[in-house]
Amino acid sequence: MTLTESRWRKVIRDRHLYLLLLPVFAYYIVFHFVPMYGVLMAFTDFNVFAGLRGSPWVGLENFRMMFRNDDFFIVLRNTVLLNVISLFVAFPAPLVLALLLNEVRNRRFKRTIQGIVYLPHFLSWVVVSGLIISVLSPSSGIVNAVIRSFGGESVYFMTEPAWWIAIYQFSGVWKDVGWGTIIYLAALSALDPNLYDAAMIDGASRWQRLKHVTLPGITPTILVVFLLSVGNVMTISFDRPFLLGNPMVLEVADVISTYVYRVGLLNVDYSYAAAVGLFQSVVNFVFLLTANWLSNRIKGQGLF
């Protein structure tokens, strides 16, 4: 029996399991591969009535316009800045929380804490942003009410760029830190308990067990999450900056996603917006490849 025949026998044997993959393949084909045809819009002067094939081809003209536009470099700076800050603030938060929860021995208390920190993830950013704006309101917000009760003056948190960046980052941590711990807790649960027993017999303290057993055991998981974060350094979802932002902080709140929305949908410049989106995807891909290459060179392991 040849190797090919052996593989086909296994495929036929496990055909029902492979059928379960069909919805996944269908999702990626319909929503990720088919829309890639629309990338051609970035190289045309797109006309809605003429369609993609009937629109005149302009080559790289939209990209030249993009690099000559000062607004583009502002939103590019804001996108990279907010994501780099997130790498230092939001990325380690789930890891730290997972390590703390892993040390909790009372199961009921641990599950209660997990439920509390998971809950915000299921709230819409519409709800979360409305809550934040109401709490920080200079006239009726509870935070400014406390400040005034101590003799201070109201602070316009949402209209000052420095405060806005801090609120943006910590609101993201509060909303998603619990959900992010799921990956790390799953990795921690897969660690061999015998390693901890051996470390305790050798007299290792709790900190030493964390340093020499826990962290090395989940390093591959940390690395994968970090590489995926680096690969999205040019991407920020539309909802959070759009809902929390306002004209007073546009200099720091305007990112590529909101810029594409404003230029593409509001100004009806679809070709230019497609060029910006394509540039964003290409740079993300380059960042991912670079980070993965560095990881393979330094740690000997990466995503691929």
Asked, for residue 79, whether it belongs to a domain, the answer is: yes
Domain housing 255: 52-298
Asked, for residue 13, whether it belongs to a domain, the answer is: no
Asked, for residue 156, whether it belongs to a domain, the answer is: yes
DSSP string across 187-253: HHHTS-HHHHHHHHHTT--HHHHIIIIIHHHHHHHHHHHHHHHHTTTT---SHHHHHH--GGGHHHH
> What is the maximal distance between C-alpha atoms in the chain?
86
Asked, for residue 179, whether it belongs to a domain, the answer is: yes
- The 10s digit of each residue's pLDDT in 114-163 is 889 999 999 999 999 999 999 999 988 899 999 999 998 999 999 999 99
| Residue 49 structure tokens | 């009535």
Number of domains in the chain: 1
Residues 225-249, mean pLDDT to the nearest whole number:
90
Answer whether 0.75 is exceeded by the pTM: yes
Asked, for residue 71, whether it belongs to a domain, the answer is: yes
Asked, for residue 121, whether it belongs to a domain, the answer is: yes
**Whole-angstrom distance, CA of residue 270 vs CA of residue 288:** 27
- The 10s digit of each residue's pLDDT in 32-56 is 888 888 888 999 999 888 888 888 9
Is pLDDT above 80 for 300? no
Asked, for residue 163, whether it belongs to a domain, the answer is: yes
Asked, for residue 67, whether it belongs to a domain, the answer is: yes
pLDDT of residue 95: 93
Query: Domain containing 235 — which CATH number?
Result: 1.10.3720.10
Count of residues for the chain?
A: 304
